[in-house]
C-alpha cells in the first residue's frame, strides 16, 4: 500500500514531464526513444496522492483522469518546452522525467517518403534544451528542479555532470543497460543525488513504489 498525504506537500503545485518526445520525419515516421511514460505517470500520481496538484506534460499515453491532475499532451521537444513554460506559472516543483529527444530532422517532409533509393540520409539538428531555455527565460526562478538521467556507463559521474550543467536541485539516475528496469519496464531502481552532495539509492521496486519514495524525498527538501 502506498503512503497517504504528506503535509509538507499539501498545497504545492508540481509540474511533471513524461514519455519520449517524437520528432517527425514525415507524416507517418518519427525519431523517438524507448520511454513508455510509466515513471512520469507514477510520479504525477504519487504527488497527487501525497497532496499536491499536478500538471502532467506528457508525450505518452496519460493516466486515467483524477482530481488534482491536469494533463497536457505534446509530441515534440519544442511542444514540451512551450507547455512546461506555460505550466510553471505558480509552480513549486518541476520533475523532468521525460526522455526528450536530443535531435530532430532539419527538414520534415509534408508527404510520406516512399521506398526507392537504397539509402536515406537525414540531416539532424539539436532539439531545444528545455531546462537551459527555461533558465534563460527565468521561468525556473524559485522552482525546485528535479532532473532524470538514463545512463549506460559511468552512471553516477554522468549524473553528477548533468546535475551541475543543468543547475538541478536533485538528479534521479538509473542504469538503463540493466535488464528489467528503466525504460519500458514496470520496475525501476534509482539513485538520487542532491546539489549538496547527498546520495540515496532506492532499490529495485515497482515504479509506483519508487515514485512515492522520490516524491517523499522531494517533499523533505522543498519545505
| Catalytic (active-site) positions | 33
Task: Kindly give the pairing relationship between strand 170-175 and strand 187-194.
Answer: antiparallel
User: What element of type H or E holds 13?
Assistant: strand 13-18
User: What element of type H or E holds 201?
Assistant: strand 199-206
Burial class of residue 170 in the structure, from the number of CB atoms within 10 Å of its CB (0-12 exposed, 13-18 middle, 19+ buried): buried
User: What element of type H or E holds 27?
Assistant: none
Q: φ and ψ at 64, to 5 degrees?
A: -60, 150
Amino acid at each position: 500500500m502506498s503512503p497517504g498525504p504528506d503535509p509538507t506537500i499539501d498545497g504545492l503545485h508540481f509540474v511533471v514531464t513524461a514519455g519520449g518526445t517524437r520528432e517527425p520525419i514525415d507524416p507517418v515516421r518519427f525519431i523517438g526513444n524507448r520511454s513508455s511514460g510509466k515513471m512520469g505517470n507514477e510520479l504525477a500520481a504519487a504527488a497527487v496522492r501525497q497532496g499536491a496538484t499536478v500538471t502532467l506534460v506528457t508525450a505518452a499515453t496519460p493516466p486515467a483522469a483524477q482530481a488534482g491532475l491536469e494533463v497536457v499532451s505534446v509530441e515534440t521537444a519544442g511542444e514540451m518546452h512551450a507547455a512546461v513554460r506555460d505550466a510553471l506559472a505558480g509552480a513549486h516543483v518541476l520533475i523532468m522525467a521525460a526522455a526528450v529527444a536530443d535531435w530532430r530532422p532539419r527538414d520534415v517532409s509534408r508527404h510520406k517518403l516512399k521506398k526507392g533509393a537504397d539509402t536515406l540520409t537525414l540531416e539532424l539538428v539539436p532539439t531545444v534544451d528545455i531546462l537551459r531555455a527555461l533558465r534563460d527565460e527565468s521561468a525556473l526562478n524559485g522552482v525546485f528542479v528535479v532532473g532524470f538521467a538514463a545512463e549506460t556507463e559511468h552512471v553516477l559521474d554522468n549524473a553528477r555532470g548533468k546535475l551541475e550543467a543543468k543547475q538541478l536541485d536533485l538528479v534521479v539516475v538509473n542504469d538503463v543497460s540493466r535488464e528489467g528496469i528503466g525504460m519500458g519496464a514496470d520496475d525501476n531502481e534509482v539513485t538520487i543525488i542532491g546539489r549538496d552532495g547527498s546520495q540515496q539509492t532506492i532499490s529495485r521496486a515497482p515504479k509506483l513504489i519508487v515514485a512515492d519514495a522520490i516524491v517523499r524525498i522531494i517533499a523533505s527538501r522543498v519545505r
